[in-house]
Amino acid sequence: MPRPALAPRRRAAPRSAPRSVARSAVVPVAVLLFTAACGSSGAPAGDAGGPDGAADGSVTVFAAASLRASFTDLAARFEEAHPGADVRLNVAGSSDLVTQIIEGAPADVFAPADTASMDRVEAAGLLRGTAVDIATNTLRLAVPSDNPADIASLADAARPGVRTVVCAEQVPCGAAAARIEEAAGIDLDPVSEESSVTDVLGKVASGEADAGLVYATDIRAAGDTVLGIDVPEASDAVTTYPVAALADASDPATAQAFVDFVAGPDGRAVLGAAGFGAP
């Protein structure tokens, strides 16, 4: 059967120049779940959030695409534990989320897929308190379940004619991919560069691409739609996920309570079950 048509292959830019993004439209995903509440020990005195600073307000969480499933679960658990709280998720590529926050989008909590994205928000004076590291992740090669290009290694993904996709370098998964290429001494020639790891995974799962570098947790969540292949050099590009409340949070007590929840035992359990490593 003929392969699905793709846009013409672009030559990879030299490593010294950032890759340009073949961006797909990013539509914020709002997840409205059930409700909950309890006091927040992390909120400063006098913050909003109900009587005695109770975490029974609304909180909008901007989270990296690779955190979608885990944070959907954590939002439901938080609401169950804090009656009256309402958690809304905006899930997208970390770079897009940073831009939205800096441009004034209403956000209460930020959880990107790398510390560099959090540093950008902190440099803009938009953090409330200190960010907390909550998880780590590494990249693996994802290939379609039938592996039509017979990929077994990163070198195979660089073969002429192999349709490999990656994240753009300004996205955390793209920056990690670049470090892996450098460590392996391999220069991939991607047919497209995406604005989020879920976009890369989607192209592989649909058969539009023969291989893609995505997070191990995304491969795990994809089940039998893709196969995962270890990349030894991924140990040189471990990604750390932080979370923090934002300075302009509409309900600081609830925002901080959610941060504390994610960074606490419940959050660690959910993230660990999804395949994330400890920070």
Binding-site annotation: residue ranges for molybdate: 66, 94, 197, 215
From CA 9, how far away is CA 164, in angstroms rounded?
Answer: 10
Say how many C-beta atoms besides its own lie within 10 A of residue 136's C-beta. 14
Q: Determine phi and psi for 8, rounding to 5 degrees.
A: -55, 145
Question: Which residues have CB under 8 Å from 10's CB, separation 6+?
Answer: 190, 191
**Exposed e or buried b per residue across 225-244, where buried means at least 16 C-beta atoms within 10 angstroms of its C-beta:** ebbebebebbeebebbbbbb
For residue 3, give the 3-state DSSP assignment.
coil
Contact, 180 vs 213, CB < 8 A? Answer: yes
Contact, 59 vs 108, CB < 8 A? Answer: yes
Angle in degrees, 0-180, between the axes of helices 94-102 and 115-123, rounded to the nearest 10: 10
Contact, 169 vs 178, CB < 8 A? Answer: yes
Q: Determine phi and psi for 164, rounding to 5 degrees.
A: -105, 140
Task: Tell me the β-bridge partners of 214.
Answer: 140
Q: Determine phi and psi for 37, rounding to 5 degrees.
A: 180, 155
Residue set of the binding site? 66, 94, 197, 215
